Amino acid sequence: MARGPKKWDEATIERMYLEGRGEGVGPHYKPWIGVLEFSSRGRSRRVAGVKTGREHQLFSDVEWGLFLLLEWARNVIDIREQFPLDRELTLEIAAMPRIRHPVYPGTKVPAVMTADFLATEKRNGSLTLVAYNAKRTEEAEDARSLEKLEIQRHYFQGIGSPHHLVFSSQIPAHTVRNLAWIRGGLLKPGELEPYPNCLVENAQRMAADLAHPKSSQSLAEYCGTFDTRFGLPSGTGMRVARLLMQERVLTADLESPDLASAPLAAFRVADIAGQLHHIEFGT
């Protein structure tokens, strides 16, 4: 059950600003609201960020899919979710086209509107703030939802930041599924390796082994034999392969319906395999 403020009023909003909600970057950013404070129609998640080193608050499957794509993109430097917009500006924008500004349920208090994501991206050699809103495809037919998005479009246009509306139908399902599977191989906070330096050591071994593949096996079959050959606990080889994919050392078509079943010939090993000893696989 959501555990948001007992009531939304100006004092509550002021307190949230004083707590630093919506401020900071990277590991120091604080989302305007968290999943335990607000109900959502989709499946909410708290996710450890690979790039930011902090926990992300995601409110739906659509946000989860878009988050995975942003996190994977090389040009994305930082991701701030549930980013609050300046309320004075959104009220001004809503007044101009006479759009009803959103209020908190059961009140007349104007809501602090939020963008689902504000990403810092490298574009044309410089850093640019880019806003994203992730919506279910059926919301394209909802007039009220589109009105609120129109306020956001004008808002970011006014401050010179690109704004993108992403519907669930635009998110590549196989890619998102594969990205979730790949990042699932990362060490969890507090998780111990089978023995010290096990993953990096075997990642180096596997990268060298796959540089000249001679087998017609699938990835899953290869990883099973890898465990047997090197006396590793079952599943270690596949875990290592996923870590190599996370670090872009082992690459494949992310639109593949099942990477584990793909043949080894579908994978490529990057030239940076020799640098694996510099990589920390923990989240």
Give 159-189 pLDDT, tens digit per residue. 999 999 999 999 999 999 999 999 999 988 7
Q: Which helix (H) or strand (E) holds 151?
A: helix 143-158
Residues 117 and 187 in one domain: no
Q: Which of 125, 149, 171 is the last residue of a domain?
A: 171
Question: Distance from CA of residue 103 to its chain's centroid?
Answer: 28
Model confidence, pTM: 0.90
Task: Evaluate whether residue 92 is within a structural domain.
Answer: yes
198 occurs within a structural domain: yes
Triad 29, 31, 32: Cα angle to 5°: 135
What is the domain-level CATH number for residue 269?
1.10.10.10
- CA 151/CA 157 separation, integer angstroms: 10
17-40 tens-digit pLDDT: 999 999 999 999 999 999 888 665
- Asked if 190 and 215 sit in the same domain, the reply is yes
Task: Kindly tell me the number of DSSP H helices and DSSP E strands found in the chain.
Answer: 8, 8
Write the CATH number for 138: 3.40.1350.10
State whether 64 and 83 are in the same domain: yes
Same domain, 222 and 269: yes
Structure tokens given for 225? 């034999």
In a domain, 252, yes or no: yes
Query: What is the structure's pLDDT at 42?
Result: 58
DSSP state of 138: G
Please indicate, yes or no, whether residues 125 and 166 belong to a single structural domain of this protein: yes
Q: Which of 87, 254, 67 is nearest to 175 (CA)?
A: 254
Answer with the one of 126, 144, 171 that is the final residue of a domain.
Answer: 171
Written as six digits, the tokens of 63 are 């946000």
Please check whether residues 209 and 260 belong to one and the same domain: yes
**Which tokens is 107 given?**
């009140």
Task: State whether 65 and 31 are in the same domain.
Answer: yes
Report in angstroms the alpha-carbon separations of 207 from 31, 246, 263. Answer: 38, 13, 16
Domain termination site, one of 129, 145, 171: 171
Q: Are residues 70 and 153 in the same domain?
A: yes
Do 196 and 233 reside in the same domain of the chain?
yes
The domain tally of the chain equals: 2
Range of the domain at 127: 10-171
Q: What does DSSP assign to residue 155?
A: H
Task: Examine the domain organization and report whether 20 and 93 are in the same domain.
Answer: yes
Does residue 2 sit within a domain?
no
Same domain, 42 and 144: yes
Walk along the chain (283 residues) and give the pLDDT tens digit of each residue: 234 565 789 999 999 999 999 999 999 999 999 988 866 555 899 999 999 999 999 999 999 999 999 999 999 999 999 999 999 999 999 998 889 999 999 999 999 999 999 999 998 889 999 999 999 998 888 889 899 999 999 999 999 999 999 999 999 999 999 999 999 999 887 888 888 889 999 999 999 999 876 778 999 999 999 999 999 999 999 999 999 999 999 999 999 999 999 999 999 998 654 455 434 433 3
Cβ atoms of 162 and 128 closer than 8 Å = yes
Same domain, 18 and 66: yes
Please give the angle made by the CA atoms of 58, 145 and 176, to the nearest 5 degrees.
35
Task: Report the C-alpha gap between 186 and 280 in whole angstroms.
Answer: 10
- What is the token pair recorded at 91? 């009220």
Task: Answer for the pair 137, 167: CB distance below 8 angstroms, yes or no.
Answer: yes
